[in-house]
Every structure is written in C-alpha cells, then in structure tokens.
Amino acid sequence: MIKAILIFNNHGKPRLSKFYEHYNEDIEQQIIRETFHLVSKRDENVCNFLEGGLLIGGSDNKLIYRHYATLYFVFCVDSAESELGILDLIQVFVETLDKCFENVCELDLIFHVDKVHHILAEMVMGGMVLETNMNEIITQVDAQVKMERSEAGIAGAPARAVSAVKNMNLPEMPKNINIGDISIKVNLLLQRL
Amino acid sequence: MSDVVEKTLTALPSLLSLDSQPGAGKLSSTSKLGQFIRNITELTSKHEEEKLIKKELAVIKDQVSSPYTTMRQMRELMVRSMYCEMLGYEASFAYIHAIKLAQQGTVLEKRAGYLAVSLFLNENHELLLLLVNTVLKDLQSTNIIEVCMALTVVSQIFPKDMIPAVLPLVEEKLSHPKEIIRRKAVLALYKFYLIAPNQVQHIHGKFRKALCDKDPGVMTSSLHIYLQMIQESPDSYKDLVGSFVTILRQVVGGKLPLDFNYHSIPAPWLQMQLLRILSLLGREDQSTSETMYDVLNESLRRAEMNHNITYAILYECVKAIYTIHPKAELLEKAAKCIGNFVLSPKINLKYLGLKALTYVVQHDASLALQHQMTIIECLDHSDLLIKRETLELLFRITNAQNVTVIVERILSFLRLCNDDYTIIDLVGKVAELAEKYAPDNEWFIQTMTVVFSLGGDLMPPDIPSSFLRLLAEGSQSEVDDRQLKVYAVNSYLSVLNDDCSHLPQRFLQVISWVLGEYSYLREGLDQEEVILLLKKLLDQRGVSAETRSWVLSALTKLCRGSGRAELALAVAESLSSTLDTVLRQQGHELRHLIQDGSLHARVLPQPAPANSLEVDSSLSFLDGFVSDALAAGAAPYKPPHQRQEELGQQRAPTLEPYALSLPMSLSSCTVTDRQSPSVLSMSSGLSANSTEPSQRAGVATLMLEGVKRVWGKEGYLPQRDTSETPATVEEPSDVVQSSHQQVVIDISQPEPEPEPPQLDKKQQLASSLFVGLGSQNSACLLGKTEATVPRFRRKPHLNDASSSGTSERSSDSSHSSHSTADSFLYGGLLEEEPATPIQSSRHAPQPIAASGSCEARQHGLTVNGVDENRGGAVVCAKEEKRAHPTQLIESDMVRVRPNALAEGAVVPPQNCSRHLPSTSSCGSDSEVLKLPFELQNLPHSDIISLISDSHLCISCCRVFREDALLIVLFLSNSTEMVLCDVALELSCEELQMGSLRGNVMESMAGRTSSVCHYTVFMERPHTHVPFTGTVSYQTQPGHKHTLHFSGKLTTADFIRPLVLSTEEYGKLWLSFSHDVKQNLRLLTDAGDPLIATLNVLKDCLQLHIVDIIGSEGIVACRLLDGAPCLMHCRVHGASLAVWLRSSLSSFPDCLLYHCQRALQEH
C-alpha cells in the first residue's frame, strides 16, 4: 500500500502532499521535512530507494523517489509494494502531468494543486494503485474537464463561444470577437515566456 | 488578414479555456491565489512567511463566512486554504465550508469540495457525519463523475461506523455498466475490508465476480482484495490457483489489449500482483506449486527485455520461485537472475539483487559464495543504503568463524552512522551475533562495550538486561563463567578510570551492576578503589537519577569491611539531604546495612546465590498475612490482566539479581521476530524452530535436532517429524553428505585467476568473511542455523525436573514454538488428511463444474479458468451445505443445543484427528464422558475431543449458563497406569476467567476421567476468541509430559436470550446509541420467510423473539447477563433489513457477523 505521496522542490518547499494514512498535522509536516532532509542529501548516482526507518512508523516502509529538475517526487510505501514498480509509477505520473499541462514545470504544480490532486486521484485511490495507463488517466481527467465546461455556466461560456465561432464562416467572425481583449491575454502570455 | 484571423482562432481555445493551459492561466494579477503565491515565493524568512499566511488565513476566513461569496469564489478560497494547510498552517474554519461546497455546488465546485474534504478531514473527525448524506446522494447520481468522486472520498476517509450507511450503494456499483465505476467500487470495498472485514463478509461472492469481470481493469483491482485475503488465510483460496495461473498465462502471453502495455510489456503491475499472489498460495504446498511452474518459467523467459519494469517483474518472479515448493530447474534460473541483478552496473538493480540474496541465503548459502567479490565491493560502496543491505546480508551468513570480521565491519559502519533507526537496528544485531558466536570472553566483553557506548540510550533495554542475565546465569562451565566475569570487571574498571562523562546512562548502569556484583571475584583488587570510582560516578554531573540509584545499589553490595564502610557511610550521609526521595531512601537503607553487619550478610550474601534460592511460588507463607489484611478491610487481589497497565511502565530493566528463578523457559524461549531491533534473543527468526537450550545432549555432534531443514542443494527436503530427528543426528543422511560435497566444489570454482595486489586484499577479506560457509558447515546449508554451538548456552534451570524430564520438555518447547498454523501444516504434510467429520466437511473434494453463466468476453481476455472455478466453487459451497446436516446427524454425540457454529468454534488439533479413525478411542470416551449432574440440565454443546496422546485424552464441552460460559474439560486416562501430578492450565487473554475447579490432581487412576470447570466471562464482544491451555502430568516420577491444546470461542457462545415485552423493548431501543444496519439473506425454503429466518437465528444464537407483526420482527439478546442488543428486522424484497442497537459499540457488529454465518450455514 502507498502510505504517502510527497512532492517538494529542491529547497524543501512542499508542492503536493497526500497522505493515505492519517497522521497528526504536526507529524505530517515533520515527515515532509525529514523526507526532504533524507532525500536531498543523496547524490545523483545512488539508488532511488531509502529504508523508511523511524519515519512513517515502522521499519516496513520504504521511500522511493525520483528527482526531476527542480522537483522531488517521493512515494512512501509499505513492504508489499515493488520498488521498481513504484519507480515506474512515478514516471507514469510525471509523464501524465506533462501531457496534461504541456511541458509541466514547478509553476504548474503550484498554481494547479487541485488539478494535480485530481490526476493523482485517477492513479491512486485510497493508497492502492488504480490505473497505470497514462492514456486512460488522461481520458478520465479530460472527461471531468469536459463535464465541467458544459456544466459550469460562466466558466464554460468562452469555450462555447469559441466553438461557436469556429463553426461560423470566416468573413463574419471579426464582428463577434473582442479582439482587444485577446491581445491583452496574448501579451500576458508573452510576458511569461 | 485572413491568415491572421485564422491563427488567432486556432490559438483561441487554449487562451480562453482556463483549465487546459499551463501555469500562466492564473498568474494574472486578478487571481488572488496567484497573488498570494507570488507573495509567498518572494519572502525570504520563515517568520515573514508565517506572518503573511496568518494574514491570508484571516482574509479567507472573513470571505468564506460572508453570505455574498459565490460558489465559484468559494472554490478558489478552498484551493487557497488547501495551500495553507499543505504548508502546515491550520485552516480549520474552512472545513465546514468544504463540506458545504461538496454538498451544494455544481460538479465543478463539488469536486473542489470533495478534494478539500479529503485533504482536510480524517476518519476521526466529527464533521465527517455531515458528509454522509451528500455521499449517499452522489452515489445514487446518474452522473458518473459524481459517483466517482463519492467513491474516492469514501475510500479515503470513511470510518468503520459509517460504512454500513454506504455499503449497500457501493455494493450495487459492482454491477454498474461503466468499468471505471466498478473498479473504484472494488477498491472502496477493499478499503472497507481492511477497516471492518466483518461488514463485507457477505459480499465475498461478488469479489469473485469482480475477479471474473470482463474488464481487465476491474479484475486488476479485485486482486488487491485477494492478495490481502490470501495473506490472511492462504488455505481458503487454493481453489483459485488455477484461475490466477490462467490469468497470468494470458497476460504474459500478450492476450490483453494493447492499451494495457507499458513500454510494450503487457500489464507489468498486474503481472507483479499475480506473482505475489501465486507465491503466497504456493508456499509450502507442493501440489499447488506444481501447477505454477510452467507459468513462472514463461514469465522468466518473457521478461528478458532490458527495461526497468521487466526487472521489477523478474524480481517478483525470483521471489516467488524461492517461496514456493522448489523446483531445481527454476531455482537455477532464478539464481542466474539474481546474479544478473547483483552484477548489474545499475545501482537500483544492484540493491535489489542484494535484497534478493539476503532473502535467498536463508535457503542456500552457497549463492552468497558465488558473489562474494561483488559483496565485498558493495561493502565499500559510496551509497549508504547498499552498504547497509550488504551488512544485513553478512549478518545472515555469520557463523562462528567469520563473526569477528563481520562484527568489526558492522561496528565500523555504526561509528560513522548518525541515523537513529539504523543504529538501533544494527546494535541489536551485533549483540545477537556476539552472544551467539563469540569466539572468546575477551572479545565478547569488548564487543559489548562498543555496543553499549555506540548504542547509547537509544538502545532497547533488552540488550543490557539480556547481557546481565547472561553474566548472572552463566554457562555450563564454572571456570569459564568466572573468567568472563573477571574480564568484565577488569575492562569496566579501566573504562571508569578513563573519562566517562560521555558514556550513555545505560552503559553506566551495566558497569555499576557488574562491579557491585562481581568485583570481589578479582583477586588483588582493593574494593575501596571500586567504591571510590563509583562514588566519583555518583558525584558526576549529567548522571541521571536512575543511574545514581544503580550506583547506590552497587555500593550497598560492596560496603562491607572496615575501610569501605566509612566511605559508604559518607556517601549515605551526603544523600540524606537530597531532594530525590528514591535516592534518599536508598541512602538510608545503606546506612542501616552498614551498621548491622549480620543483616547485610543475610540480605546480600557475598557470592550471589545464582540459582539456589528457593521460591515458594504459591506464596503460602503469606496466607495468614493476607487473611488478616482482608479481614482488616484491604482490597482483594487483582488478577494480572487488571494490573497490567499499572505495571507496564515500571517494567523496564528489572535486573534484580536475586530474581533469577524465573522459569528458564520464559527467558530462552522468546522466539521473536528478528526484524525487530528491540529484541535481543537467543534465537533469531531463522532459528525459531531450532534447538532450545536444554537440548544439549548431542552437542558434540551436529545440532540438527529440531532444525527445520526445508531446503538443500537438491531442493526441498522431505520434512521429518521431530520425533524422528534423533536418527538424523546419528547417521547423517545422504542428502546432507552430497550437498556437502557440492559446496566444496562451488567454493573452489570462483576465483582461480591471479589478481592485482589491491584485489588480493579483497580476496583476503573475502576468505575471512565467507569462511565457514563452505565445507565445514555445509552439512547445514541453512546459513547460520545451529551449525556451531553458540558460546553462551544458557543454563537449564536447576529448579526444573531431573535430566530425563528436561529432554521431554524440550521436545515440547520446540513444539510450542511452531505456531498452530504451522503445526497444522506439518500435520497436513506428514499425515493423512485429518478425518474428523467436521474437518472432512471442510476439505470436501471440490468438483469442477462447467461454467455457469457465460460472461461476455471482451478485450480478448478469456477468463475461462476463473469462470469455471467460480462455478465449481459455488457448486461445492452448495454441496457443503447439503453435506453438513447429514454429517451432524451421523455424529453420535450428545446434542442439546443445535451447534451450527461449532465447527468454527473448537478446532480439533491434528493429534486427535489422527487418533480418531484408527482406534476410535475418543469416540468411545465421549460416550463415557458425562457432564456433572448439576450441569446436565443446562444447554450445552456436544463434547468435542480436543487433543490426546498415548496416555491422556482431553475433551471439551461448552455449557451455556445464564451468567457465564462454562468450559468443561474432561481429562480421561486412556491407559491402565496411574498418572501423577496432573495439572491443567487454561488461559485466554481477552476474557475473564473465574472459579476453576479440579485443575490439579495428585494422581489419576487408570481408565478414569476427571472433570474441571472454567467459568468464562466476556465483557467486550470479540467475534472470535482463541484460548490455549496445557496439561502436564507424570507417568512415573520424573517423566513429565505436557500437552498443549487450543480452541476458539465465539461471541455466539456468550449470547443469551433477553426476555422482555414489546413496550420494554421500545423504551430500551431509544436509549441506545450504537447502531448498525445491514441486509441479511432471507430463508425462503419453508413457510413464512420471516418466521423461518428468525427461528434459525433463534436456534443458532439463542436470541429471544419479542414480537412479530406482519413483515417486521423484533428480537432481543444480551451478552451473558450484561449488555443487551436489540434487533429490528423487516422483510425488504428478497432480503431481511436488520437494524441492531446496543449499548456496546462492537456488539452489533459481532452479532451481525454471527447472524450472517448462521444463515449461511443453514
């Protein structure tokens, strides 16, 4: 069983924490700190596993982690899980994030914590691995996104407008679109880039 | 222009839709979250962050409680509070709003609400109750996403008592048309199974259906449940082996749709899960293992691709091959695989290879020899984890020859290590090795000194206490003991002479005890010097009060004699004004003892009488005192279990040197899990079945008695009964010899070629590390089992019976170290199938029926085997049911009360079942056995034979008294001999026992039987309660025999009818708070279903039917004469909806469980 999934950056700032077993809040924070402490001092060329030790209660637990650019992805699992299996599960998770966010970066995780959680919920449920196929996960997440758009009135409006616009004949279109507004958005996007 | 427009348009969707866009989407200054996060990232100090977040939380709090906040804004607020919580700041004010959001919002907001709830709340949170209705509503929703969300939240945080509310709905989802829902429902049920197995008892059939689901994803999820259940009782699921093998074969053969491939390997995670299940099923079961050899071979072959995930499969495969009944060909392949792992340049694989080796060396130590150079390299590896795993491996292969090298390695690792967990773990291991294999006294004491100073106060208290006990009890040879003690005194004196301010308290305590006890042994030592050293210790700062009191007791022992008395007196004086009352008390005692020399000599005789103390264990000399005290109004004696909590804390190191008359079996039989760092015991997990101290008869030869030899070079060795082992000792079998030779060849192979000088060093190390793994010890390939005689063999206790009695006892103790399950296995493997009627009904041959309903098969996966088996299982379950009553009728035992639950209630151990068919002596006994006259009129179960040996037969009957359960045990002497000193002991942890009778008899004439009673009370319901007991007797003086027996009681034994009127029932109903609702099966075979069902329940469980009106019925019962439980039943379609209420929280659950069973068995 997976006990906890933690993501933090190179400075130990938590970016996502999900516990599948209940711990006191203080202990959760302590676990995050200790895990970071353990993981961050390991070289790049050592193995991706750590014995849990005193950390999350009991010697049965293992930490399995991967380091991507600025982020550490750490899974804390019990002895029933396969080390290499979990290692690849992390890979699947990250690839899925990458697909969903198009070139995922730390910022995506910060600003879309909720979405990351939703993606995770499609992979792991109550500590058990639910789905390991990336396409399947994305399908589920997309289905939710679609549902949201069609249901959420205001939020869905622009999307609906776009699709309406797409279906129209070209010459008529400029009338319906507030070009000024778009240009602002484009600028914002450029600023970020 | 049109180009521009087109470009703009293609860019539009991604610009406008908020969700499918990278981070920038919410970076706009209008987004509060964006602003907030940006502010946080700009901060530099923790203090500023705290300030900012506090401010932010205040703002959020303000907004969430404002009535003008829209749902959409609320969603954003939730995300913000989630962020704060993640950083460790509490936002408890938001919890209720999260629930509200989940309740009221549209899908979008609901999702955020549920997410927040699952992050904020835990299963103990009281607000969770508010969520139940929302979840119920969403589970019934037609919107798949809502159902999914509800299932996710249910599996994340729902506690035990809320499960019944949602269970029927979740169960229903198992047949939902969408596979994603079925899959989530299965996982939710798995979670329920983990939390409250009783409550999902009735849907095991549906789990089977999930296993046969046409969607492989659902099947995969159901494997989680099966893995868990098989772990708990592998024997109940042997019928599924065929199905699992079929599934695995199809998966490995690529029959799954391509969607399930991961890097072109078919469903690797599924494969791993299946391999794990198979290894559990095949463990110690030859016939089952044989069915899976082919598929294991196939997966080994297919998994030969060079990708991370294939190695994961290989690893599981190898583990499975080494767990199940061995097959030479597969073992060879697996060994090669391990070799590939260990030699791999990839560090992850190397680590796993070492782990596999550690696992395997228990079976076959020669594999470690093959890889010795790699292991040596790993010892100096830069990765600490690899180093540790290597040490773990070395620990497993330690023997008397290499112990010094290995211990030195571990200690040098320990010196550089600063991780608490590792220190505790390794310190325990070193202590264990030192005690077991120490080559000489000097080395032992030195090693323990290092252990104590490195382990410090983290060290579990067992290590010092075990060490001291070893010193005190000593070994066989007097000279050796004396030498050991003197050496200890010497080395500790030199330790104290150096700077000892940095030494851990535990070590100081050990030192002071040893000096106090044994310093007189050293000739030419001025005891005044010792006292001065101890006094110095007493005055040292940083020495804890506990240690001081240890030092003081040492001083008390040393203070006799002229010069010493003055010194000690000075100490006592200086303590007279201390604030610590314990120390002051001790100082006071010290003064008294100094002044009264004869008293001192009596209290603390100089050569501490190790074992000669006589202890009157019945404390009869106190009888007068007790009766006086009771008469004066003192509180009566409390049985141990009541006092346990109070005593718990004081127990730590009870090193009273004079309390040595603990029965030896207690101290030496502690068979404990080797993993646990806290326990230093003579026997590791490995040697759990190995010799016990008193089995020292054959010390000169090989210590093979009782060692369970399962593996040899050729593979599985046939198991021998313990009684046969002496033969093995005398004439080593061919198996042993041939394996001996093979290993010799093995070692000569590895490194013949010349190596550069640097490698020579390693070679040297290798030869010192792996010495003893080869020829000398090869007779015992089980790694470090008792090939050598541990140096410190504890003395058998003098108080024990004479020598012949000891050997008798030893076979018993080795017997008791097997778990009951183990002994069942033994029985199953060695003897013919158990043949009591009860057992045979369980082991009924299972006919394979043609598959019943054909499921549609999609995705190209045919689940033939599964379906077939399922059909078979159903048929066989029916058969069992039908077979059951006839068998009950056949048995000619007394039956007053229908005993539907008896088969689970008392498990006859294998001995008696072996006994029954051949001589049928027990059967005839049971005709002779009669309940005492005063009990015959009470309802009781039939008399079941528990266990028997050549002399004695024990049977048991449960008598249901209104206020208690009586366990009536019949001892019948089946020989003509007179048995003496028959003593019976019965114990059960969870229950209270009282008023025993007839459990000790001076003598028992031939062909007679005797009866003893135990009254058992149950205060808190447990579904099953195991009890254990022993009977000891002597055929002739000195020939002591012991019989162990065990059994199980269920709550049903403690349920009594509660007679009351409908009005009383109504009043009582309202006063109870704990309730459980569930649907039960309705019996439809005869007459009115409600009445029929209730009658069955009444008969099986002694319930009282209060009233039946139309389709409703009310039933009452109670736990003995204690807590009542009320049950309200209503016919609801084809099932019976029951609602239970009680004043005890776990009672309804238990009762429900037994109702289910009773109906199932009917």
B85: CB partners within 8 A, 6+ apart: A25, B91, B119, B120
Residue B1009 has pLDDT above 60, yes or no: yes
Instruction: Give the integer Cα–Cα distance in Å for B1035 and A39.
Output: 65
A88/B156 CB distance under 8 A: no
Name the residue facing A188 among B28, B224, B348 (closest C-beta): B28
Average pLDDT estimate for B1016-1045:
78
Is-contact B860 B831, C-beta < 8 A? no
Is A22 at the interface with chain B, CB within 8 A?
Answer: yes
The upper half-sphere exposure of residue B996, i.e. CA atoms within 13 Å in the direction of its Cβ, equals: 12
Tell me what pLDDT residue B374 has: 81
Nearest chain B Cα to A85, which residue? Answer: B312
Nearest chain A Cα to B154, which residue? Answer: A126
Instruction: Give the integer Cα–Cα distance in Å for B778 and B773.
Output: 7
Name the CATH code of domain A2-151 (choices 3.50.50.60, 2.30.30.180, 1.10.1740.10, 3.30.450.60).
3.30.450.60
Which of B878 and A56 is assigned the larger pLDDT?
Answer: A56
pLDDT by residue (tens digit) across B1080-1112?
Answer: 878 777 678 888 888 888 888 888 888 888 888
pLDDT by residue (tens digit) across B1030-1043?
Answer: 888 887 777 777 87
A147/B143 CB distance under 8 A: yes
pLDDT by residue (tens digit) across B285-319?
Answer: 888 888 888 888 888 888 776 788 888 898 999 88
Kindly report the nearest CA distance between residue A50 and chain B, in angstroms: 7
Tell me what pLDDT residue B965 has: 82
pLDDT by residue (tens digit) across B865-890?
Answer: 444 444 444 444 444 444 343 333 33
- For residue B283, the Cα-to-chain-centroid distance in whole angstroms is 18
In which band, very low, low, confident or very high, does the pLDDT at B642 lie, cut at 50, 70 and 90?
Answer: low
Instruction: Give the integer Cα–Cα distance in Å for B68 and B1017.
Output: 60
| CA-wise closest residue to B167 among B203, B194, B138 | B203
Name the residue facing A162 among B12, B19, B180 (closest C-beta): B12
Tell me what pLDDT residue B614 has: 58
DSSP B1047: E
Indicate the domain borders of chain A.
2-151
Instruction: Give the integer Cα–Cα distance in Å for B1115 and B655.
Output: 56
A132/B262 CB distance under 8 A: yes
Tell me what pLDDT residue B97 has: 87
Tell me what pLDDT residue A58 has: 61
pLDDT by residue (tens digit) across B488-532?
Answer: 888 888 888 877 777 888 888 888 888 887 877 777 777 777 888
Tell me what pLDDT residue B959 has: 84
Is-contact B497 B478, C-beta < 8 A? no
B346: CB partners within 8 A, 6+ apart: none
Strands (E), B615-678: none
In which band, very low, low, confident or very high, does the pLDDT at A157 lie, cut at 50, 70 and 90?
Answer: low
**Sheet of B952-960, strands arranged across:** B944-948, B952-960, B965-973, B1009-1017, B992-997
Average pLDDT estimate for B575-600:
80
Which residues between 131 and 170 in chain A have a beta carbon less than 8 angstroms from any beta carbon of chain B? 131-133, 135-136, 140, 143-145, 147-149, 151-152, 154-155, 158-159, 161-163, 165-166, 170
A50/B83 CB distance under 8 A: no
CB contacts of A47 in chain B (<8 Å) are: 347-348, 350-351, 383, 385-386
Tell me what pLDDT residue B687 has: 37
B630: CB partners within 8 A, 6+ apart: B636
Average pLDDT estimate for B962-975:
81
Name the percent of chain A in helix, strand, coil, to the closest 5.
55, 20, 25
Bridge partners, residue A129, by sequence: A124
Is-contact B766 B805, C-beta < 8 A? no
B1070 — phi, psi (to 5°)?
A: -75, -20
| CA-wise closest residue to A53 among B182, B1101, B388 | B388
Name the residue facing B382 among A46, A48, A189 (closest C-beta): A46
Nearest chain B Cα to A135, which residue? Answer: B259
Asked which of A28-32, B178-182, B436-440, B646-650 is least confident by mean pLDDT, the reply is B646-650
Tell me what pLDDT residue B562 has: 63
A151/B106 CB distance under 8 A: yes
pLDDT by residue (tens digit) across B161-201?
Answer: 888 888 888 888 888 888 889 999 999 999 988 888 888 87
Write the single-letter amino acid at B289.
S
CB contacts of B316 in chain A (<8 Å) are: 82
Q: How many CB pairs under 8 A join A and B?
A: 218
Which of A148 and B781 is assigned the larger pLDDT?
Answer: A148
Mutation target for B interface from A32, A54, A110, A140: give the one with most B CBs within 10 A. Answer: A110
Name the residue facing B316 among A51, A82, A173 (closest C-beta): A82
| CA-wise closest residue to B129 among B107, B101, B157, B167 | B157
Mean residue pLDDT of chain A comes to 75
Kindly report the nearest CA distance between residue B47 and chain A, in angstroms: 15
Instruction: Give the integer Cα–Cα distance in Å for B1096 and B1086.
Output: 12
Mutation target for A interface from B6, B7, B14, B20: give the one with most A CBs within 10 A. Answer: B20
Mean residue pLDDT of chain B comes to 71
In which band, very low, low, confident or very high, does the pLDDT at B1074 lie, cut at 50, 70 and 90?
Answer: confident
In which band, very low, low, confident or very high, does the pLDDT at B1 lie, cut at 50, 70 and 90?
Answer: very low
Kindly report the nearest CA distance between residue B38 and chain A, in angstroms: 10
Tell me what pLDDT residue B678 has: 38
Instruction: Give the integer Cα–Cα distance in Å for B1081 and B990.
Output: 31
Instruction: Give the integer Cα–Cα distance in Å for A119 and A114.
Output: 9
For B626, B773, B887, the CA distances from B753, given in Å and listed in that order, are 80, 21, 71
Is B348 at the interface with chain A, CB within 8 A?
Answer: yes
CB contacts of B428 in chain A (<8 Å) are: none
Residue A153 has pLDDT above 90, yes or no: no
Provide the token pair at B236: 């109940």
B79/A131 CB distance under 8 A: no
Q: What is the largest CA-CA distance in chain A?
A: 70
B606 by Cβ neighbours in 10 Å (0-12 / 13-18 / 19+) ranks as exposed
User: Is B877 strand, coil or helix?
Assistant: helix
b/e string for A56-87 if b means 16 or more Cβ within 10 A? beebebbbbbbebeebbbbbbbbeebbbbbbb
Write the single-letter amino acid at B314.
L
In which band, very low, low, confident or very high, does the pLDDT at B962 lie, cut at 50, 70 and 90?
Answer: confident
Looking at B140-267, list the stretches that DSSP marks H as alpha helix, in order from N- to C-terminal side: 144-157, 163-172, 179-195, 204-211, 216-232, 241-252
The question of ipTM being above 0.90 is answered as: no
A18/B221 CB distance under 8 A: no
Instruction: Give the integer Cα–Cα distance in Å for A114 and B115.
Output: 8
Is B221 at the interface with chain A, CB within 8 A?
Answer: yes
| CA-wise closest residue to A100 among A64, A68, A145, A55 | A145
Instruction: Give the integer Cα–Cα distance in Å for A138 and A127.
Output: 20
pLDDT by residue (tens digit) across B886-937?
Answer: 333 333 333 334 343 333 333 333 333 333 333 333 334 444 577 777 777 7
**Sheet of B1040-1050, strands arranged across:** B1000-1004, B979-987, B1024-1034, B1040-1050
Is B123 at the interface with chain A, CB within 8 A?
Answer: yes
